[in-house]
Structure 1
């Protein structure tokens, strides 16, 4: 009915027509019929109910078509369709068009009925007037109620659409801010690499004749550092920008700082077990920084959402040119559903930041609740030289 409103309106029109035809049949069985012959009654019955089927598509046209045909239908007293169709038309105008047009239509109907009653006044006309007044009043009130509900639902849908737009904008802003922060950090890494190259090149130029072995080691250092710097520049692409904040540059942490990080988190009340399978030495500076930040953000979320008393297990596994990081906490005994609700609250920019860090290096990030409670963060970062 809601998907195809015209089907429902056609059904209502058919029921009204059936009611009038039933009155015609019953009247024909009496000794003294009062209703006009069928070749007059049936066309008027059909004409007065057909606009009901189109009331939502053409509300004004349907309403006044009912009013025009209803004059003849009600004057000949052919049934209840003219009054019922007029009431439905009034309700439709209140809901879909507006109070002003509905009021004009109501005044037209009342004027027509006043003329009809003035030309043919009877003893039972007062009862008919009360019935007509109650019918129109009910139609108007029902239209006001349904119209208010439609307006409320439209307002709710508009607000939901606005909230979705704001949420998308907030996500984009968070991604942009995190990319800017990553760009500044990697800018420091690249600047450090270039500084090393310059220093090593100067040293090699002085030692190339007096100490060839030292010069050769310097050149090897330049080659390794330069390739790492070029790899970082390639990863940056369009997100690289200058740091114009004016803040002094601070050396960034790396994978070697994970032990210190876990100790700080333990001091805050979360018991952390760090397991490293493989060596983390020789990692590109950006990858090492990204690894550190992902673990840091995961443990920060554990401390924030699970609270003191929780346990976290940090497992780092390096195999060839791939590093896999798993950070699992027990949620401090909280139920799985509660953990999910807490960590999906608006403003989850930490997960966005971790995912952006992984994407910068061609890696991936998966986060989600554990079956028995708690939270699981899994990240995979490629380490291989891209050149």
Structure 2
């Protein structure tokens, strides 16, 4: 039996109220941005417009000791609108938006229009760094540095500290580039995490499918032994009846002989099927399969491993078929193996097998270990997969989960015969 995958430790941030609140708001904002992508761009443009209004209204010149001639309000508003317009395609075409801002800034500075809205170049550099290739980012950075040097040394020469002014401007722009690169790295990390989660889910599904297939092959091998035994008895009875009918010169001799021949052919087909299902670790020869009488021997081995087990039966269990007895035995074996793996040896377990009318109920519970912490047992582990496959063969149901500090496996089977 394959052991279930080791559960990952839960992230404390996800269980903290603040963490859950932040993740919930993040998902809401992300969905809103996907439905209305223009909304966030409008908010950014609105904030920059509010930052530029004092200059457009001339309020920042009231305390200027050497004020320059005021630019017309209409000119400043028009220049502001031109710079804000590229914001609406900064995410769809970040490089085109940056080039548009660079051209507009150069044109406005050439006309001696210097407005604070020019800081929109930081937003555009952020977009290029976050979404474009590194070659595009290097081109944008070179254009920005050339434009600022040209503005400081040619368009509006600064009398003092020209180099310091250029360094200050470029340092400010580098903040936008750094923020964009950080967002780029974060998105790459998120993408890698998403791919990893997808890969892990695929691996989990594949392992579950392999476990189901292996368990079904194992059930088929065991059922082959039981069915082969019954078919052999049928062949013997048919051959004996045919010989007796021949001696008595009865007409039933030929049908009985055909029954024997058909039985032998069916037995050969069963053995060929076993040859397809077996692997290198299994002996294809017929071997006796365990039943209810072998549970005591199973419990003896489990007790020797350190697990205290009590066993109780109720009802008439002797009338159960060999296939159903084998299913009960395997269910008890899988459940106790899971207890040893996950709860340890310092616990106690109870096994109860009850037969009522045409139903058989198997219940295996353990007390859990109060002195040790074991990760939560998954109800979808490979051991439970085997139990479910056994139960489905007889139209049964399986319930597995925590029970009074331990774990309980409750299986109900129908005793009417195997289900296809």
TM range (shorter): 0.7 to 0.9
| Corresponding residue of 1:278 | 315
Higher relative contact order (CA 8 A, sep 6+): 2
| Corresponding residue of 1:168 | 205
What is the TM-score when the length of structure 2 is the normalising length?
Answer: 0.77
| Cα distance, 1:38–1:148 mapped onto 2, change above 3 Å | same
Give the distance between the partners of 1:120 and 1:67, measured in 2 at CA.
17
SS in 2 for 1:122: coil
C-alpha distance after superposition, 1:284-328 (max 9, x if no partner): 322221111001111122223223332111111211111111101
SS in 1 for 2:333: helix
Whether the 8 Å CA contact 1:256–1:280 is kept in 2: the answer is: no
Match of 1:79 among 115, 139, 142: 115
Give the distance between the partners of 2:276 and 2:395, measured in 1 at CA.
20
| Corresponding residue of 2:233 | 196
Give the distance between the partners of 1:240 and 1:34, measured in 2 at CA.
99
Match of 2:377 among 309, 334, 343: 343
Match of 2:131 among 96, 103, 122: 96
C-alpha distance after superposition, 1:118-167 (max 9, x if no partner): 24323157254233111122222222222222222221221121111111
Count of residues paired in the alignment? 362
| Corresponding residue of 2:90 | 55
Whether the 8 Å CA contact 1:184–1:240 is kept in 2: the answer is: no
Offset at residue 385 of structure 1 (A): 4.3
C-alpha distance after superposition, 1:173-205 (max 9, x if no partner): 111111111111112222111111111222333
What is the TM-score when the length of structure 1 is the normalising length?
Answer: 0.83
Match of 1:319 among 356, 359, 365: 356
| Corresponding residue of 1:40 | 75
Q: Quick check: 256-265 or 348-357, which moved more?
A: 256-265
Whether the 8 Å CA contact 1:358–1:380 is kept in 2: the answer is: yes
Offset at residue 104 of structure 1 (A): 0.6
Offset at residue 53 of structure 1 (A): 3.6
| Cα distance, 1:6–1:128 mapped onto 2, change above 3 Å | farther
Whether the 8 Å CA contact 2:76–2:113 is kept in 1: the answer is: no
| Corresponding residue of 2:167 | 130
Q: Quick check: 261-270 or 180-189, which moved more?
A: 261-270
SS in 2 for 1:309: coil
Unaligned runs of 5+ in 2: 1-28, 249-255
Whether the 8 Å CA contact 1:27–1:35 is kept in 2: the answer is: no
| Corresponding residue of 1:214 | none
Pairwise CA RMSD? 3.2
The equivalences for 1:111-260 within 5 A come to 111-116=146-151, 117-123=153-159, 126=162, 128-207=165-244, 242-243=277-278, 246-260=283-297
| Corresponding residue of 1:268 | 305
Q: Is residue 405 of structure 2 the alignment partner of residue 373 of structure 1?
A: yes
| Corresponding residue of 1:215 | none
